[in-house]
């Protein structure tokens, strides 16, 4: 059985990993990654398309000239995309987040195993926790970079706006605001970092204790040597 200290520290890391897992699920499920206002011109009118969408679905509204609302619709992102580059990058973000989800799940399993037992294999101990937590953090950071690249570089909002209305012509400008579904990815990175710090302190304390037990006999007290 593991010591009480080991159990408590790995249990704390387990809570951080499970929280990270839950946040990634929320991020995948919610459609508030970005809100955009895209302005277009058409004969005798200026149209503003207001979009709020995530990786899978979103909503759009059209406002003509002085704020007259024309319609509000719900759309599926994959169906509304016509560009292969935009679609591929959107799929890439989803795949990266699914891999991060699996990494977080494995990290939760490793921390739970160490909280309840002392595994013999080295990789099942702190090394495995370091590996899966680090991988999850890197994947989350990658997703946070790829999504804005798709929005800004591939004009994702403008493409989705064209899917909401077929009568749009000249693009006049766009404004983008990233929502909570995007920014809470930072919480995943913080939770992964917290888990790594907890395991590092446990591993460092264990290493220091092991070194003290292996001190050469010449460093031992004289009365112990005489005995």
- Give CA–CA dist 157/175, Å, rounded: 9
Task: Find the mean pLDDT for residues 40-47.
Answer: 78
Which is nearest to 198 in space by CA: 4, 1, 3, 6?
Answer: 6
| pLDDT higher than 50, residue 226 | no
* pLDDT score at 227: 42
Q: In the chain, where are the structural domains located? A: 4-205
Residue 173, Ramachandran bin (φ over 0: left; ψ between -120 and 50: alpha; else beta)? left
Of all residues in the chain, the percent with pLDDT exceeding 70 is 83
Q: Please give the model's pTM, rounded to 2 decimal places.
A: 0.84
Q: Which residues contact residue 47 at a Cβ distance below 8 angstroms, ignoring those fewer than 6 apart?
A: 39, 40, 41, 62, 63, 64, 70, 165, 167, 168
Which pLDDT tens digit goes with each residue over 173-215? 889 999 999 999 999 999 999 999 988 888 766 656 666 666 6
The secondary structure of residue 150, as a DSSP letter, is I
Token reading at 147: 């999504």
Instruction: Output the pLDDT for position 35.
Output: 92
Taking residues 51-79, report their average pLDDT. 82
143-167 pLDDT, tens digit per residue, is 999 999 999 988 898 888 887 776 7
Specify the CATH architecture of the domain 4-205: Up-down Bundle (1.20)
Average pLDDT for the chain:
84
């Amino acid at each position: 059985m593991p010591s009480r200290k080991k159990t408590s520290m790995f249990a704390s890391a387990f809570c951080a990993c499970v929280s990270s897992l839950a946040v990634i699920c929320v991020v995948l499920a919610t459609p508030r990654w970005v809100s955009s206002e895209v302005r277009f011109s058409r004969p005798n009118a200026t149209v503003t398309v207001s979009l709020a969408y995530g990786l899978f679905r979103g909503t759009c509204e059209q406002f003509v000239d002085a704020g007259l609302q024309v319609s509000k619709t719900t759309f599926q992102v994959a169906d509304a995309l016509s560009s292969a580059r935009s679609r591929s990058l959107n799929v890439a973000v989803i795949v990266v987040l699914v891999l991060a989800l699996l990494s977080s799940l494995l990290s939760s399993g490793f921390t739970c195993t160490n909280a309840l037992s002392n595994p013999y294999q080295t990789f099942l101990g702190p090394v495995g926790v370091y590996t899966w937590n680090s991988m999850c953090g890197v994947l989350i950071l990658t997703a946070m970079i790829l999504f804005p690249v798709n929005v800004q570089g591939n004009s994702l909002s403008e493409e989705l706006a064209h899917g909401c209305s077929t009568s749009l012509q000249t693009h006049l400008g766009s404004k983008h605001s990233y929502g909570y579904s995007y920014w809470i990815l930072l919480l995943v990175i913080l939770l992964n970092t917290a888990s790594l710090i907890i395991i590092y302190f446990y591993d460092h304390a264990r290493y220091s204790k092991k070194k003290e037990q292996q001190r050469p006999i010449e460093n031992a007290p004289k009365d112990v040597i005489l005995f």
